[in-house]
Chain A
């Protein structure tokens, strides 16, 4: 290694930035700190010992110094664990991405095969439609995964504006009217009074509402209605999406916002979803200064709710 490379390795600021962690999480830096503290303690113990002959004072200072060393040790071990975790998350993510993509890709492979052999024009078109669907599925998956990754790392730039949540909901309802009808679901809307404006990225909040609404419709099992409620709660606006569908089993409730979590009640059509919807919804709501949650009872239905602060 030449002199420049050695110098760069020793420049902890640069290295920590490269790994995207703070200086206090960068183990080599912490080792230097630990080393310095050890050297200091050796000297201080010597000086204290040679000046104050009472054994109690020496003992006390040794104890204090040991405590400081233990705390530093803990910080170092912690930062290593954090790095390990990040590493595991990254390889898991890659693993899951490859796996999630493999399914539509292999579907595509076989359908293409059949399409190429098919002599009948109409049937060929049928196959091509399926292929188109799988391709769109892959694009959605990649888009969601990239967004989820950027969200996790805090790298997504939200384009915030002063908007009214009712307008966003109206826009979502327009997009979902055909979908709701095809699933035999009625959507009831209850807009409260005196609703504040919020400072958010309208496209992203639209994504949150769309995701909750789409889940509510899918899990309603083709009957009944879904209700969207909007009300003011102190200095926040609260949105609730309620369905009387399958509900979420108690054992699964704590995993519901996790990436790619698939419940056992998952429906056939939902299999083609990305599995990232709620994870992304949570990320967006929290990055917008809000909170998201739900109440659900298996067999009875669910109420998903989120709150956003007013400007």
Chain B
């Protein structure tokens, strides 16, 4: 069973997205802020990381940077899932190493699932 680490500070979203992905057969690991996310990425070694950019304590871009700089986590594919949708943000996210950049408001759940499956090579 593939593991997905979901770094997102909104509890409601963690719940809905979490249940949705688990129904699709993935194991979901929840992280409500960037620091916990980094810790869990090293500990749980997920197959994919879903990362929101607006997070308390450490902001999403910083988390992205750290994930790509750390040896144990640098090869994990990261899908940025956020409502920060300016061109500048998208470019920054991709430049920092995100595999895909998705704006929540523009995506259907099915589209997100498709991108996840594609990134995991399914």
Chain A residues at the B interface, C-beta cutoff of 8 Å: 99, 102-103, 105-107, 109-111, 113-114, 127, 130, 133-134, 262-269, 271-272
B109 touches which one: A102, A114, A264 (CB < 8 A)? Answer: A114
Interface string of B65-87 (1 = CB under 8 A from A): 00000000000000000011100
Q: What are 15 contact pairs spanning A and B, CB under 8 A?
A: A102-B83, A102-B105, A105-B105, A107-B13, A110-B109, A111-B12, A114-B16, A264-B56, A267-B56, A268-B9, A268-B10, A271-B9, A271-B10, A271-B56, A272-B12
Given A105-B105, A113-B109, A262-B56: A268 in contact with B20 (beta carbons within 8 A): no
Q: Shortest Cβ distance from B81 into chain A, in angstroms?
A: 10
Taking a contact as CB atoms under 8 Å apart, the answer to whether A103 and B16 are in contact is no
Which residues of A are found within 8 Å of B19, using beta-carbon distances?
Answer: 114
Given A109-B105, A264-B57, 8 more A-B residue pairs with CB atoms under 8 Å apart are A105-B105, A111-B12, A113-B108, A127-B16, A267-B56, A269-B11, A271-B9, A271-B56
> Is the beta-carbon distance between A106 and B9 smaller than 8 angstroms?
no
B54 to chain A, nearest CB (A): 8
Q: Mark B26-64, 1 if CB is under 8 A from A, else 0.
A: 000000100000000000000000000000110000000
Q: What 10 A-B pairs are tightest by C-beta distance, nearest first?
A: A106-B104, A106-B105, A102-B83, A266-B56, A102-B105, A264-B57, A113-B109, A110-B109, A103-B83, A268-B11
B16/A110 in contact, CB under 8 A: yes
B114 interface contact, C-beta 8 A: no
Query: What B residues does A267 contact at CB under 8 A?
Result: 56
Provided the pairs A265-B56, A268-B32, A271-B10 are in contact, do residues A106 and B83 lie with their beta carbons within 8 angstroms? yes
Do B56 and A130 touch (CB < 8 A)? no
**A111 CB contact (under 8 Å) in B11, B16, B85, B108:** B16
Please, how many angstroms separate the alpha-carbon atoms of A99 and B53 in the complex? Answer: 13
CA distance A264 to B11 in the complex (A): 17
B-side residues, CB < 8 A to A, are 9-13, 15-17, 19-20, 32, 56-57, 83-85, 104-105, 108-109
Kindly provide the distance from the CB of B33 to the nearest chain A CB, expressed in whole angstroms: 9
Name the residue of chain A whose CB is nearest to the CB of B84: A99
Please measure, in the bound complex, the distance between the C-alpha atom of A113 and the C-alpha atom of B107, giving whole angstroms: 11
Cα of A127 to Cα of B12 in the assembled complex, Å: 10
A235 → chain B closest CB, angstroms:
42
Neighbouring B residues of A269 by C-beta, 8 Å? 11
Q: How far is it, in angstroms, between the C-alpha of A266 and the C-alpha of B10 when the chains are bound?
A: 12
**Closest A residue to B9 using CB positions:** A271
Interfacial chain A residues near B104, Cβ < 8 Å: 102-103, 106, 110
Q: How far is the CB of A270 from chain B (nearest CB, A)?
A: 9
The minimal Cβ–Cβ distance linking B106 to chain A, given in whole angstroms, is: 8
Nearest-neighbour CB distance to chain A for B112, whole angstroms, equals: 8
How distant is A101 from chain B, measured CB to nearest CB, in Å? 9
Instruction: Report whether B105 and A114 are in contact in the complex, using a CB–CB cutoff of 8 Å.
Output: no
Contact between chains at B16 and A130 (CB < 8 Å): yes
Interchain CA distance A272-B54 in the complex, whole Å:
13
The minimal Cβ–Cβ distance linking B24 to chain A, given in whole angstroms, is: 12
Complex Cα distance, B12 from A263, in Å, reads 20
When the two chains form their complex, are residues B20 and A114 in contact, meaning their CB atoms are under 8 A apart?
yes
